[in-house]
Structures are given as C-alpha cells and as structure tokens.
Amino acid sequence: MTTQLHDTMLAMGRDAVAAARELAQADTQMRNGALAAIAADLRASCAAILAANQRDLEAARANGLAAAMLDRLALDAKRVAAMANGVEAIMALPDPVGSVSAEWQRPNGLVIQRVRVPLGVIGIIYESRPNVTCDAGALCLKSGNAAILRGGSESVHSSRAIHESLVRGLLVAGLPAACIQLVATTDRAAVGHMLADMSGYIDVVVPRGGKSLVARVLQEARVPVIGHLEGICHVYVDRDADLAMARAIVLNAKMRRTGICGAAETLLVDRGCVTTHLVPIVRDLIEAGCEVRGDAIVAAADSRVKPASEEDWGTEYLDAIIAVRVVDGVDEAIEHIERYGSAHTESIVTGNDATAQHFLQRVDSAIVLHNASTQFADGGEFGMGAEIGISTDRFHARGPVGVEQLTSYKYVVRGAGQVRA
C-alpha cells in the first residue's frame, strides 16, 4: 500500500464526511432535483457511456472473461435507458429521511418519535456490473448518504463515464461533487484501505460481487457490512403444480439471465409429479442451452443429463448449468434448502395454497416466492427503483437493499419541562 494511495483514500473519506453533513441538511426537493438532472445526463451521455463500455468489453474478451460475466458487464442503449428510468423511479419514491416510523405519548406527557436518518458515508465495493455505479449512487443520494464507490477493474471505463453523469447532476442541483465519489484507481490496495483504514470516515460497507470478494470484505472490514456470500437459489416444483406454469417459471428462473444472484441454481421436483413434469421441464432446459446435472431419477429421464455430485447441490454456477433433484414432497424440499441453500431466494410452484403457505413459513431465506420466478429477486421489481444488493443478513437489512434500508433512526423526544423523579 503506497503512501500516496493511503493519503488519497483518506482525503476521499474526509470529503465524504463533509458532503454527508451537507447532504443530510438538503431537503427532498434538492435531492430529487439532483436525481432528475442525473437521469437527464445519463440519457444525453448514452453514446459516451457505450463507447466507454466497449473498451471494457474488448479488454474483458481479450482476458477470457466468461460469457455470463460479459453479460453482466455489457451495456446497450436499452440498459442505459433502464438506468435513467431507475434513477427517476428512485426520485419518485417517498423520502425516507425525516419520516416518522412510530410515535407515542408516555403517561408523563413526553411525546416520543422514531425518525429515520441517513447512515452517513457508505462504501460500496463491487465487481463487473457498471450499472451498480448508477444504482448505488442514486440510492445513497435519495437516502441522504454520501457514497464512496469502488468498481471492478473490468468495468473501469464504463463506471467512470457513468460517474461523470452523477457528478454533473449533483453540481446542477448545487450539491457537492463529493456526495458520490468514485475510486479512480484499479489498484486492489484501495479496497484494503476502505476496509481497514477508513473506519473513521465510512459508516457501513456494502459488497456486491462474487463469493471471494464478499468473503474478503466480511473478514477485513472494521465497520458494519451489509451483504451476502452467494445466491444459491432454488425452485421447488410441487406435485400440485400446473405443468405449463412450472415449465415457464423454471426456464425463466434459470435462463433469463444466468449471471445474476437471483438465477435458480437448483431445481427440486416432487416425486409425486415426476411422471408428468420432470421430462418436459428437463427437456426445456436442455433445449435452451442449459447443462442439467441430476440425480439417478433425473438422469434416467433424459440421456443428456450429466450425473450430479454432492458439490453441485451447494454451487452457485452463475452460468447455464442447473442441478436437479427429485424429493419426497415439500418437507424434503425444505430440508434440502436448509442444508445447501444460502438464504437468498427460493420459489415454490404449486396450486395447493396450504402447501405454499407451509413452504413460505418454513423456508428462512431473505426472499420466498409462490408461483413466481426467482429472477424477481430485484429491488426494481419490488418497486424500490433499484437496489444496492440483496442482503441475506438478519441484522438491519434483509432482502433488496433500497433507500429505506440505507437509513437508520433516532428518537426525538418532546417534553414540557418534565424532570425524572
């Protein structure tokens, strides 16, 4: 770790703290004005953003980045427009800062309110998805937090171009550029500084990336962390599932986008519907280009199925691969999820409401769904505009981390001269 980088990172921390103080005093109109300007600038800068992204893609292909990772990295006009739309959706959300989540009066006349406040300075460390630069910056801005963003080296040019739009939007609204800072260097030592040396400046760290990144952050961070290690997501097809619905949900859950954390990695099929459901579902997956790894019953259903190992049940592939297992009903499906899952997202497909309710109550994951694809594990789909990530923690935030999850609270107590006996 060089002295120069150390000094640069600490200067960013000081600037972020000062910006956070100013941002905390900015009213809703001012913050929303910045978000509106950011959305407009993203649209106006689409060509420049795509040109920068092309540089990243060319380098990634030359370095042999996997197809699913290339999909995460790639931008097109539609995705840039989606980023701008996401910023406007965040802008339209109710302002969490200053909102009163509870209020009561004590017998002695004291009126007590629980009021939402920003967390302060949030450090976001992420890998190849350049849209996180936009989502994280906008969410922090809406929730009154300053942000220090450290993107992956794969997306360095894309992130810089997007960050320029964020800064221009801040300046148009009269807010400090330091409200959203981007770590300019690709030196990995910068991450070490954020985790170990900036506890006096950064209040919470949010990692968004692969298992090794999140594990490093959890191990080295000296401030609270909001994150998840893996997205080992399951779809369970129950004996009372409608076949057409099950086929559509399974195919979408796995193949819509294989490289996102909400992609299904394991399919569990009830033994009670094996004769009717297993073959067409497996055939759909294989014909869509998915490699199926299954137990003996699944392998017997289609000669193209490869045998699954014990390791497959606990693997997040982030690729066109799925592990398939036959289970004896909903309770064995739940036991499998408890043993091998990562507490991220699980779905049950069934027409039996009692079975569905049993699954929804028993499965202790951040997101549980009934008759819907796991790919809905997304803050935008939840009406949050966007998300910084999906948290599998049990403290502070769980599930999609949006504007409300980026706030804490304080107690405001109003009296009329009361003193304690």
Residues 253, 367: Cα–Cα separation, whole Å: 14
Percent helix, strand, coil in the chain, to 5, is 50, 20, 35
**Domain spans in the chain, listed from the N-terminal domain onward:** 3-227+401-414, 233-376
Long-range contacts (CB closer than 8 Å, 24 or more residues apart) made by 351-357? 351/240, 351/241, 351/242, 352/238, 352/240, 355/238, 355/240, 355/330
Q: Do the Cβ atoms of 375 and 258 come closer than 8 Å?
A: no
Which of 10-14, 70-74, 305-309 is least confident?
A: 70-74
The pLDDT of residue 1 is above 70: no
How confident is the model over 59-69, as pLDDT tens digits? 999 999 888 78
Name which CATH class applies to 233-376. alpha beta
Residues 207, 228: Cα–Cα separation, whole Å: 8
pLDDT (0 to 100) of residue 155: 94
Q: What percent of the chain has pLDDT over 70?
A: 100
Q: What is the pTM of this model?
A: 0.88
Residues 376, 388: Cα–Cα separation, whole Å: 15
How confident is the model over 258-317, as pLDDT tens digits? 988 999 999 999 999 999 999 999 999 999 999 999 999 999 999 999 999 999 999 999
Q: Do the Cβ atoms of 294 and 305 come closer than 8 Å?
A: yes
Give domain 3-227+401-414's CATH architecture: 3-Layer(aba) Sandwich (3.40)
Q: Do the Cβ atoms of 141 and 154 come closer than 8 Å?
A: no
| Confidence label for 342 from pLDDT (cuts 50, 70 and 90) | very high
How confident is the model over 142-181, as pLDDT tens digits? 999 999 999 989 999 999 999 999 999 999 999 999 999 9
